[in-house]
């Protein structure tokens, strides 16, 4: 027989021996690899496939047109506010576009943003009433139909059942049908004064022709019939692309202003010179002196980019990838444990082989073959599971968006890569163990050595200390931070924690052996001694647990902490009333405070500004370039909800001065400082406003928890646009930007038990004209909804880490069985010396307690480091101030799961000791 | 019939093991008694059932047939915890391969049986005495890996004596020692019987060890071939001749 033949024969025998000797460990390894491979397919590949598809779809989101001409230098019309239509695109520009070479079709129209919610009639059903104050009047409360949010437009907007949707309202020029709507259908809509709604919105609300919807815009609220549902084909996720289409009269009523073309859709002929068209457009813009932008494929690509893989989730995307990574790590630990247990069981055979001259590559090769076979079996099962899970869930979810999502080619092969890498990594230490056996090796247990773990503990502590040094300091802000510094900091902390395990186990054994021994009625020396044996196996198991527990706790801490900036807490007004489009007439403005049930009213004038130099906001997730400008009686406002200035002076605000939110200095501490002016432009085209750039000087900094979402719910923001700050100014400064705006925003403190419906009626009575719209928001109700939404986001995020924790339990189980197996001689000796089974169980329980304590301590420490780093990063990128919140419930769950896993592992190891008959049968030299 | 004065006795002991489909009888109908304060040697070839007999006597295994009496009471039918308690308090066990725990010092290894008991502390005087008696006084803080083979064997004996047992069961106590070392250990066991009143039952296949005993039991193929006082054999040479003569038919497969 050739050398290769001899090797394969030996490898086959060794694989057979492994399966015979370690059936449980082998099965669990296969299961772990299967789960890891399945997760790679289900989570990573599916996630990539869907996000890639979504990215592609959004990049192609101009539907039937190639270019969109939008009013405003940066195409602001696409992020239109609930406001009157913007200034029109000049006729000359539209004519130039229509006449440009290569243009096949050009449809001009007007767009504004409106609120839309179902209004009853045919097609309604399965609804439930919304919260108080949500709609704007008795009998017109928003009724939501679908509780299954499948449309990404709504999902990405954070839309929840019970909320109304913000939607573009589009009205095309005379004689033209909106894109996607049949000409005959549109003619009927015009004739009947009905709407054409996109299929994505119709699906969400269960609308069909004949149903009615409410539209609320700057001109007030209107109840309009649905005349047609037009198919978008794709769901359309970019804001402003798939509008509700309204005839001109309806549009003008809702928008509160005359129709004017502020957008034009352009389709180019096939093979047309796109660059030539763009050049012609630029020339026309220059000639007209108009502020207009041409949005093309680049714009859509840019709009799609945040949603593409790894960039859109504000940290959320990292969670499934982390789960996959940890599942692969758990599989690695299990494979290593199984291989190590097998080597442990074959020590004598391997030593004999070495003694009779077998080359060291022979056992090494056999170990690799064992590992690869286990991995291949696991991968085969996992691939089948992953494909089944993928096909069963992802395309189904994608169908809601009108998509076909298929697993990317090579997905299966891709799932094999991490499995193969993990297997080879697991084989390295196993090969080392198999080849380092001395030919004179006996089956006796080795002494751990007094220094075992001490050096590793010190190295691990240093590695862990390096994490905050790297991640919590300015080092994490440099250009290399994302690519190198932060990954290195995370890796260092993880490696450090693993290195600390043996030393911590020993230290804990020294510290806790006495109390645990007292409880379990065992001599401390027994616990101390037993913790010295099987240390590396215990380390493997504990490491898997430490990392998984840390992952679980990090997610929980991060989730709980990041909720805080979005919850107003106790320091919030009871209700907020916003008059759209304008406040009560001047002589009635004071009547809001006199409404029964209103204890205090902070009446404000509200408009919007745009930050002039927005470069500082690049990469800031929650920071928009818009500012919510408020003229308020600041002391009255502060006392209404117990707010206070966190910096600056509390005296009256002078002309050109302002008080800003704490988040604004956070956006760039150098750019936004007290006393340092910043530039702004007005928004909205209010007649008489000074439209040139001007400056405001911050004199105070205020912090109102949850202001972002409060302003969103109450429509204090412009549409879905994100705001950087509330900016409080005096009357004179406000008048510079919006002289005609009355007191249209009221923060209210209410008497306990105030009926919000009655309050709504009283506020409606103050409208300047009947179609005006008062949006009354119950802050407590909105907060509860935000809290529910946060919880609904966090709960599924915690499921993956819990799954990984469960998988790690398998690793622990196998590792502990391996640890007990490696010390079976010692246990057998104790049994022979008179240790009864009860005490043996107590001894194992004691060891489990020590191991669980070490795992929980290190897991918690690692989670604190990771979570704090995550919160710091998110605070920086989201421009919020999230505190560090300790999730006691999650910690208790995690600690209990850890203890349970370790305990189960130790107790399941008992049968290993009893597998062979007799208490002393495990002792060397025992034969018949 | 086993006499009532015996400290330990076996009555018709039988034990078999399974190896795949095959059932192998390790012991078959073995009966004998051991008097208090005596040194009994159990001789037999490899595979004759010596270790199985010792494990049965220590309560580490349960017999398939027969019973073991300890002071006239049936020891083998007791529950595991009761057998463990008796083993802890009345029986000392010396293993062939010493089986010292590698992470414990010699002193800790010797104290180990006391640590397993409900009231482990105390008896320091006794432990010091046996350590001195066995000549290990200067090695108490050493790990097993730092001791010679003889010292490890004596440490194993010291551990067996830690609970002041009435009975010491020794499995090939000199198996890993040279002639001088094994003679020293045998003399120690002899002294234990004489000076401490211990009952010693040692498994060996070496005649030069067995001649230190008061009685010799000879096992062959799981059966008791002889149970005679040592005085019947005279010296080691005659014992070896008798041993070979008794084992020859067994080795040839004759009954």
A39-54 pLDDT per residue, tens: 777 766 666 666 665 5
Among A400, A417, A444, the domain boundary falls at A444
Q: How far is CA A889 from CA A551, A555, A795, A855, A893, in A?
A: 15, 13, 13, 18, 6
Tokens at B215, concatenated? 């009685």
Mutant choice from A830, A834, A843 vs B, greatest count of B C-beta within 10 A? A834
CB of B152 within 8 Å of any CB in chain A? no
Residue A824, min C-alpha distance to chain B (Å): 12
Nearest to A722 by CA among A708, A736, A732: A708
Mean per-residue pLDDT for A728-741? 88
What whole-number distance in Å separates Cα of residue B72 and Cα of residue A762?
A: 101
**pLDDT bracket for residue B94 (50, 70, 90):** confident
Residue B17 lies in a domain: no
Q: Flag whether B228 is in a domain.
A: yes
Chain B residues in contact with A444 by the CB 8 A cut-off are 97, 102
The answer, for A448 touching chain B at a CB cutoff of 8 Å, is yes
Q: Give whole-number Cα distances, A350 to A10, A448, A577, A578, A833, in Å.
A: 11, 21, 81, 81, 30
Residue A288 lies in a domain: yes
pLDDT, average across residues A343-371: 78
Which of A:829-848 have CB within 8 Å of B?
Answer: 829-839
> Could you tell me if residue A523 is inside a domain?
yes
Query: Which residues in chain B have Cβ-Cβ distances shorter than 8 Å to A523?
Result: 115-116, 120
**Residue B73 touches chain A, beta carbons under 8 Å:** no
Quick one: closest CA in A to B113, which residue?
A833
Q: Are A71 and A108 in contact (CB under 8 A)?
A: no
**pLDDT of res. B193:** 87
- Considering the domain architecture, whether residues A5 and A77 belong to the same structural domain is answered as no
Are the beta carbons of A445 and B102 separated by less than 8 Å? yes
Structure tokens at B65: 């047939």
Model confidence band, residue A296 (pLDDT cutoffs 50, 70, 90): confident
* Percent of chain A whose pLDDT exceeds 90: 9
How many structural domains comprise chain B? 1
In a shared domain, residues A613 and A733 = yes
Residue B182 forms part of a structural domain: yes
Domain boundary among A420, A444, A468: A444
Contact B85 A925 (CB under 8 A): no
- Say if residue A726 is in the same domain as residue A747: yes
Q: Is position A778 within any domain? A: no
Give how far Cα A107 sits from Cα of A286, A378, A821, A907, Å: 22, 58, 78, 74
Residue range of the domain that includes A860: 454-561+790-915
Q: Is residue B144 part of a domain?
A: yes
- Pick among A524, A833, A915 to test the B interface (most B CBs inside 10 A): A833
Last residue of a domain, one of A405, A420, A444: A444
Q: What integer pLDDT is reported at residue A891 of this predicted model?
A: 92
Please indicate, yes or no, if residue B128 is contained in any of the structural domains.
Answer: yes
For testing the chain B interface, which of A445, A920, A922 should be mutated: the one with the most B CBs within 10 Å? A920
Q: What is the per-residue pLDDT across A539-578, written as a single tens digit (0 to 9) for each?
A: 777 777 887 788 888 888 888 888 788 777 677 788 999 8
Q: What is the pLDDT of residues B36-66, one digit of tens each?
A: 999 999 988 888 888 889 888 988 888 999 9
Whether A917 contacts chain B with CB within 8 A? yes
Q: Determine the pLDDT at residue B215.
A: 92
Band of residue B75 on the pLDDT scale cut at 50, 70, 90: confident
Minimal Cα distance from B101: which residue of A?
A: A826
Distance from CA of B162 to the nearest CA of A (A): 11
pLDDT at A514 over 60: yes
Does residue A199 belong to any structural domain of this protein? yes
Instruction: Please name the residue that has the structure tokens 């580490």.
Output: B60
Indicate the residue of B47, B113, B120 with minimum beta-carbon distance to A833.
Answer: B113
By the 8 A CB rule, do A117 and A164 touch? yes
Helix (H), strand (E), coil (C) string for A277-305: HHHHHHHHHHHHCCCEEEECHHHHHHHHH
What is the strand order of the sheet B91-94 is part of?
B91-94, B167-171, B199-204, B39-44, B215-220, B223-229
Nearest to B103 among A529, A917, A927 (CB): A529
A826: nearest CB among B17, B62, B101: B101
What are the two backbone dihedrals, phi and then psi, of residue B252, each rounded to the nearest 5 degrees?
A: -85, 0
- Report d(CA B156, CA A827) in Å as an integer: 16
- Within 193-252 of B, beta carbons closer than 8 Å to A belong to none
Contact between A816 and A906 under an 8 Å Cβ cutoff? The reply is: yes
C-alpha dihedral (B101, B105, B110, B111), degrees to nearest 10: -100
Contact between residue A663 and residue A623 where contact means Cβ atoms under 8 Å apart: yes
Q: Are residues A347 and A463 in the same domain?
A: no
Residues A331 and A369 in one domain: yes
pLDDT at A531: 52
- Residues A275 and A370 occupy one common structural domain: no
Question: For the ranges A387-396, A796-805, A862-871, B228-237, which has the lowest average pLDDT?
Answer: A387-396
Query: Are the beta carbons of B88 and A521 separated by less than 8 Å?
Result: no
Determine contact, residues A291/A69, Cβ cutoff 8 Å: no
Q: How many Cα atoms occupy the beta-carbon half-sphere of A64 within 13 Å?
A: 15
Q: Are strands A165-172 and A195-198 parallel, antiparallel or unpaired?
A: unpaired
B136 inside 8 A of chain A by CB: no
Residues A703 and A753 placed together within one structural domain of the fold: yes
Of residues B88, B93, B120, nearest to A523 (C-beta): B120
* Count of pairs with CB atoms under 8 A, one residue in A, one in B: 109
Residue A728 is predicted with a pLDDT of 93
End-to-end CA distance of chain A: 37
Pairwise pLDDT comparison (A56 vs A831), residue with the higher score:
A831
Q: What pLDDT digit, counting tens, does each position of A457-502 carry? A: 888 899 999 999 888 887 777 666 766 787 788 888 888 888 888 8
Average of per-residue pLDDT across B119-132: 74
pLDDT recorded at residue A715: 74
Higher local confidence (pLDDT), A195 or A63: A195
The confidence band for A622, taking pLDDT boundaries of 50, 70 and 90, is: low
Residue A573 lies in a domain: no
Task: Identify which of B81, B96, B103 has the shortest CB distance to residue A925.
Answer: B96
In Å, the largest CA–CA distance within chain A is: 108
The Cα B161–Cα B131 span in angstroms is 10
Domain presence at residue A368: yes
| CB proximity B145 to A under 8 Å | yes
Whether B13 maps to a domain, the answer reads: no
Letter string b/e over residues A589-627, b meaning 16 or more CB atoms within 10 A of that residue's CB: bebbeebebbeebbbbbbbbbbbeebebbeebbbbbbbb
Does residue A581 have a cis bond before it (omega within 30 degrees)?
Answer: yes
Question: Does residue B15 lie within any of the structural domains?
Answer: no
From chain A residues 738-767, the ones with a CB under 8 A of any chain B CB are none
| pLDDT at residue A151, as a whole number | 41
* Of residues B55, B80, B145, nearest to A836 (C-beta): B80
pLDDT confidence of residue B195: 83
Expressed as residue numbers, the domain containing B90 is 36-56+78-251
Domain assignment present for A577: no
What pLDDT digit, counting tens, does each position of B114-125 carry?
Answer: 877 765 566 777
Tokens 């096939």 correspond to what residue? A270
Q: Which of A917, A924, A928 sits opposite B49 (nearest CB)?
A: A928
The helices-and-strands tally (H runs, E runs) of chain B is 8, 10
pLDDT of residue B252: 61
CB contact under 8 A, A836 and B52: no
Interchain CB distance below 8 Å, A832 and B93: yes
Which residues of chain B does A926 touch, with a Cβ-Cβ cutoff of 8 Å? 51, 55
pLDDT at A483: 67
- Residues A491, A359: one domain? no
Report whether A296 contacts A272 (CB < 8 A).
no
* Average pLDDT for A328-347: 78
A136 — pLDDT class (breaks 50, 70, 90): very low
Residue B86 inside a domain? The answer is: yes
Nearest CA-CA distance, residue A445 and chain B, Å? 7
Interface contact flag, A523 B102, Cβ < 8 Å: no
* Tens of pLDDT, residues A404-428: 555 666 677 777 888 898 899 889 8
Distance from CA of A535 to the nearest CA of B (A): 12
Same domain, A92 and A33: no
Bridge pairing between strands A645-648 and A694-702:
antiparallel
pLDDT value of residue B118? 60
User: Do the chains contact at A920 and B159, CB–CB below 8 Å?
Assistant: no
Q: Residue A888 above 50 pLDDT? A: yes
Judging contacts by C-beta atoms under 8 Å, the chain A residues touching residue B61 are 917-918, 920-921
Confidence label for A149 from pLDDT (cuts 50, 70 and 90)? very low
For the stretch A628-657, pLDDT in tens is 888 888 888 888 877 778 888 877 888 999
What's the CA gap between A245 and A228, in Å, rounded?
A: 10
Query: Does ipTM come in above 0.85?
Result: no
Residues of chain B with C-beta less than 8 angstroms from the C-beta of A837:
80-81, 84
B93 in contact with A, Cβ within 8 Å = yes
Of B97, B102, B159, the CB nearest to A925: B97
- Asked if the structure places residue A897 within a domain, the reply is yes
In this prediction, residue A233 carries a pLDDT of: 54
Using only C-alpha atoms, chain A has a radius of gyration, in whole angstroms, of 34
Count other Cβ atoms within 10 Å, centred on residue B21: 5
Task: State the CATH number of the domain containing residue B235.
Answer: 3.40.50.300
HSE-up (13 A, CA, CB side) for residue A819: 29
- Identify all chain A residues contacting B88, using CB atoms and an 8 Å cutoff: 833-835
Residue A857 has a pLDDT of 93
User: What HEC string does B131-177 produce?
Assistant: HHHCCCHHHCCCCHHHCCHHHHHHHHHHHHHCCCCCEEEEECCCCCC
Percent of chain A with pLDDT over 70: 74
pLDDT at A595: 92
Quote the number of domains for chain A: 4
Split at pLDDT 50, 70, 90, the class of A518 is confident
For the residues A745-771, what does the mean pLDDT come to? 87
């Amino acid at each position: 027989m050739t050398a290769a033949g001899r090797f394969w024969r030996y490898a086959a025998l060794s694989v057979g021996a492994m399966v015979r000797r370690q059936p449980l460990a082998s099965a669990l390894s296969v299961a772990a690899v299967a789960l890891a491979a399945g997760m790679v397919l289900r989570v990573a590949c599916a996630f990539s496939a869907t996000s890639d598809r979504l990215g592609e779809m959004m990049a192609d989101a101009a539907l039937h047109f190639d270019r969109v001409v939008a009013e405003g230098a940066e195409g602001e019309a696409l992020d239109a506010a609930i406001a009157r239509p913007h200034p029109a695109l000049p006729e000359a520009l539209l004519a130039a576009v229509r006449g440009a070479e290569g243009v096949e079709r050009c449809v001009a129209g007007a767009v504004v943003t409106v609120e839309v919610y179902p209004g009853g009639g045919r097609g309604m059903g399965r609804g439930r009433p919304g919260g108080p104050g949500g709609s704007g009047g008795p009998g017109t409360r928003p009724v939501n139909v679908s509780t299954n949010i499948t449309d990404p437009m709504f999902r990405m907007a954070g839309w929840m059942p019970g909320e109304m949707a913000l939607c573009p309202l589009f009205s095309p020029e005379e004689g033209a049908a909106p894109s996607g709507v049949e000409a005959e259908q549109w003619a009927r809509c015009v004739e009947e004064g009905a709407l054409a709604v996109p299929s994505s919105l119709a699906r969400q609300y269960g609308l069909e022709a004949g149903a009615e919807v409410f539209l609320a815009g700057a001109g007030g609220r209107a109840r309009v019939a649905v005349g047609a549902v037009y198919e978008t084909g794709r769901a359309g996720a970019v804001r402003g692309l798939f509008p509700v289409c309204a005839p001109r009269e309806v549009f003008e009523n809702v928008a509160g202003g005359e129709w004017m073309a502020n957008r034009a859709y352009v389709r180019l002929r096939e093979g047309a010179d796109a660059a030539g068209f763009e050049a012609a457009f630029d020339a026309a813009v220059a000639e007209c002196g108009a502020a207009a932008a041409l949005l093309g494929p680049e714009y859509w690509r840019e709009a799609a980019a945040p949603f593409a893989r790894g960039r859109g989730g504000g940290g959320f995307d990292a969670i499934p990838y982390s789960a996959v990574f940890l599942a692969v790590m758990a599989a690695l630990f299990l494979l290593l444990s199984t291989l190590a247990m097998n080597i442990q069981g074959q020590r004598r055979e391997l030593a004999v082989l070495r003694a009779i001259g077998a080359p060291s590559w022979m056992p090494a090769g056999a170990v690799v073959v064992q590992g690869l076979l286990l991995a291949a079996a696991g991968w085969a099962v996992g691939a089948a599971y992953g494909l089944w899970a993928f096909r069963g869930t992802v395309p189904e979810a994608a169908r809601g968006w009108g998509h076909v999502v298929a697993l990317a080619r090579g997905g299966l092969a891709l799932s094999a890569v991490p499995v193969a890498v993990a297997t080879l990594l697991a084989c390295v230490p196993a090969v080392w163990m198999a080849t380092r056996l001395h030919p004179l090796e006996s089956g006796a247990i080795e002494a751990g050595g007094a220094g075992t773990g001490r050096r590793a503990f010190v190295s691990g502590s240093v590695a862990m200390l390096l994490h905050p040094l790297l991640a919590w300091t300015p080092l994490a802000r440099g250009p290399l931070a994302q690519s190198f510094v932060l990954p290195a900091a995370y890796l260092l902390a993880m490696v450090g924690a693993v290195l600390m395990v043996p030393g911590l186990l020993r230290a804990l054994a020294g510290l806790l052996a006495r109390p645990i021994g007292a409880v379990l009625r065992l001599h401390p020396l027994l616990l101390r001694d037993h913790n010295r044996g099987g240390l590396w196996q215990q380390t493997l198991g504990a490491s898997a647990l430490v990392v998984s527990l840390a992952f679980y706790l990090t997610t929980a801490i991060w989730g709980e902490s990041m909720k805080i900036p979005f919850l107003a807490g106790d320091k919030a007004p009871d209700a907020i009333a916003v008059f759209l489009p304008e406040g009560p007439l001047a002589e009635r403005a004071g009547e809001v405070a006199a409404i029964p049930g209103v204890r205090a009213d902070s009446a404000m004038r509200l408009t919007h500004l745009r930050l002039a130099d927005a470069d500082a906001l690049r990469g800031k997730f929650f920071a928009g370039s818009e500012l919510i400008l408020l003229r308020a009686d600041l002391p009255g406002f502060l006392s209404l909800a117990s707010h206070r200035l966190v910096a600056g002076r509390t005296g009256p605000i002078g002309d050109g001065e302002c008080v800003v939110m704490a988040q604004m200095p956070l956006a760039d501490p150098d750019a936004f400082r007290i006393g340092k002016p910043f530039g702004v432009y007005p928004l909205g085209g209010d007649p008489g406003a000074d439209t040139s750039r001007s400056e405001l000087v911050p004199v105070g900094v205020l912090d109102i928890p949850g202001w972002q979402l409060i302003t969103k719910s109450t429509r204090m923001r412009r549409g879905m646009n994100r705001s950087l700050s509330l900016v409080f100014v005096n009357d004179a400064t406000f008048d510079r930007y919006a002289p005609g705006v009355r007191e249209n925003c009221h923060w209210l403190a209410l008497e306990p038990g105030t009926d919000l419906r009655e309050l709504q009626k009283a506020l409606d009575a103050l409208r300047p004209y009947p179609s005006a719209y008062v949006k009354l928001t119950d802050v407590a109700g909105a907060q509860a909804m935000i809290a529910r939404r946060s919880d609904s986001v966090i709960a599924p995020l915690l499921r993956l880490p819990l799954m990984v924790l469960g998988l790690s339990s398998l690793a622990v189980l196998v590792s502990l069985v391996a640890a007990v197996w490696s010390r079976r001689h010692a246990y057998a000796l104790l049994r022979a010396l008179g240790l009864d089974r009860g005490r043996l169980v107590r001894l194992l329980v004691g060891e489990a307690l020590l191991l669980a304590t070490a795992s929980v301590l290190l897991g918690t420490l690692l989670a604190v480091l990771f979570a704090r780093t995550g919160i710091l990063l998110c605070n920086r990128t989201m421009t919020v101030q999230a505190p560090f919140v300790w999730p006691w419930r999650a910690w208790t769950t995690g600690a209990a799961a850890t203890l349970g896993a370790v305990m189960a592992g130790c107790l399941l190891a008992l049968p290993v000791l009893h597998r062979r008959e007799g208490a002393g049968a495990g002792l060397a030299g025992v034969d018949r | 019939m086993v006499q009532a004065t015996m400290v330990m006795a076996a009555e018709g002991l039988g034990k078999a093991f399974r190896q795949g489909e095959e059932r192998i009888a390790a012991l078959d109908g073995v009966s004998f008694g051991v008097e208090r304060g005596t040194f009994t040697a159990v001789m037999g070839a490899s595979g004759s059932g010596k270790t199985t007999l010792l494990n049965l006597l220590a309560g580490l295994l349960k017999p398939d047939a027969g019973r073991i009496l300890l002071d006239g009471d049936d020891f083998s039918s007791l529950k595991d915890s009761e057998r463990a308690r008796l083993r802890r308090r009345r029986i000392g066990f010396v293993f062939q391969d010493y089986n010292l725990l590698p992470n414990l010092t010699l002193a800790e290894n010797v104290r180990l049986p006391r640590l397993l008991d409900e009231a482990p502390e105390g008896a320091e005087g006794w432990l010091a005495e046996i350590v001195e008696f066995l000549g290990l006084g200067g090695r108490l803080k050493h790990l097993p890996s730092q001791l010679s083979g003889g010292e490890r064997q004596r440490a194993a004996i010291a551990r067996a004596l830690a609970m002041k047992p009435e009975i010491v069961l020794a499995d090939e106590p000199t198996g890993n020692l040279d002639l001088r070392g094994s003679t020293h250990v045998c003399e120690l066991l002899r002294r234990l019987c004489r000076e401490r009143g211990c009952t010693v039952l040692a498994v060996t296949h070496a005649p030069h060890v067995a001649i230190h005993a008061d009685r010799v039991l000879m096992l062959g193929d799981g059966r008791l071939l002889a149970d005679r006082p040592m005085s019947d054999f005279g010296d080691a040479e005659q014992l070896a001749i008798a041993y070979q003569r008794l084992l020859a038919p067994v080795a040839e497969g004759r009954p």
